[in-house]
Structure 1
Amino acid sequence: MSDPQVQLESLQDVWNTCQTNDDQKHVLIKDLFAYVNDLSARLSEAEYELRDRKDVIKLTRDRIEEADKRIQVFQAEKARHAFASVLIDGDCMLVSPLPFNHPSTLTWFKFNDDLVKAGLDGGKRAARLLKQAVEEELRSSPPALAHHIQVVIRVYANMKGLAKTYKDAEILPQLASLDEFVRGFNMGDPMCDYVDAGNGKECSDEKIKAMFRHDLADMHCHQILFGGSADNGYARLLGPYNEDDAVRSRITLLEGPPFARELAAIKDRYHTARNGVSPDSAANTIDRLRNGRCADSNRAFFIFVV
């Protein structure tokens, strides 16, 4: 039989080993609990952050939805006030109330005489038909504009010189006779204005240029139909926009008389629309009025219909 002291020491060693193992288990369990507690804390923090992010996302979505609604309201409001501006220099431009690029061959000067001689009724008819022609142009030219878009027409001219032109050409019996036609034009549609720009050389030009810049800066103005093809001075007005695709897409050049040299050099950069009479015929008629019976008169503004 073994020595009791040896057995006791052996048992003590076993106990010490067991105690060490228990201590290691205790430490391990404590470490596990600490790790679990740390994970739980981090999980709770992540849950808080997730809730915060969800709140932020919801708030952002609500704001986006609200912004979308406001954008839709603004777009509807913008569409409600959308317009196309027709600016015509009546001292150098012939304007036709025929559909642009109209295929008919016209004895058009007679029709123009008839309108002007018809006075009030002729002016009303001219305004109505001119607006219809512009609306047709807007619908047929890419991009087609909405049917509800307003058309605002402004014609600026030297009325005193224009009246003298018609009297000298024996189309009207007296200078005051043109007033009835102009009055009818202004009454024919509330958005059509025939404006006396004054009898200075550049009066019409300055008004045209000012309104062109004003309308171009207006976000509601979708298109400007610009009639001043015989005046080189408008090339400088268009010059800053010749390389700007966004702006050029909003400008249509109306060709009555042939484009003046400087305008002819840039016209291909813009969409152009031609009146229902050939430029050569228009130029010949201007020459007819400037020479012969009315050689000293200003260039005239004509409206003609079928």
Structure 2
Amino acid sequence: MKGGLGGVMIILFLVFLGTGIYQVGPDEEAVLLRFGQYSKTVGPGMHWYFPRPIGRRYVVKTTKVYRVEIGFETVEIGPPARYQNIPEESLMFTGDENMIDVDFSVQYKISNLKDYIFNVKDQYETIKSASESALRQVVGSKGIEETLTIGKEGIQEETREKLKEILDSYGIGIMIIGLQLQDVGPPEAVMQAFKEVANAREDRSRFINEANGYRNDIIPNARGQASQMVNRAEAYKERRVKESQGDVAKFIKLSEKYSLGKEVTKTRMYLETMEKTMPGIEKIIIDPELKGSIINLIGGGVEANEKTNN
């Protein structure tokens, strides 16, 4: 009887020891505890460790990329995938006091399994809360236009750096692989107003471009016309100066001739002026010394015309 009981005890003890055999996969690590205290971390392969209640083990995939979603939750992977928005996580204020709706995700891997298991109670919620806090700080320092357009990459990088600082201070034992803004936009309630503002900005940009195009077209033309006018004025000035110089030279010569023969010069100038002012008109020159009346001369001319007509 005693021998049979001893054999049973031995078998039970062997079974107890057999429960300490476990396997760690190629993408896993295991943390071992003895009487509730950390003992060691082991890698892939077949292992044995003290069974419960003496020992305890936690086997975790350490090469897997984990994902935390903030502002939304994946309802169905799909395809097509379906998501559910979580406004209390996604709604936040920008630096210029505008409200914006931001959904983003964080990808991470476990870098230190011991720290990951023992330093925080709920790893997922800790990472999620820290990620949301980091993004709110960064978005709160940016304007809404920057957040919606050209500033997304910068926001991602700044948030990632800030999140790394927070998690490193916790000693959580993870490595951030990536942080991705999934969807950034105005809240649903003010979507239409944002669209109208965006359209107004586009119209403003278009008007500015059109005005710049008109300016770039009209200014060179105006400069060309101004240059032509200046050139014509310069040419006119040169011509007038030369004409004036010629008139002066001509007047000097005429003055010299006039001083030599005043009456002759005066008569010649008078005759030249008459030719210029009354071209093509028959002219009668009367000698001042002519005897008799000028009327007789005119009468004689009329009679001569009548005889010619007859």
Q: TM-score, normalised by structure 1?
A: 0.27
Whichever of the two has the greater Rg, that structure is 2
Structure with more of its chain in strand, by fraction: 2
Which structure has more relative contact order (CA 8 Å, sep 6+)? It is 1
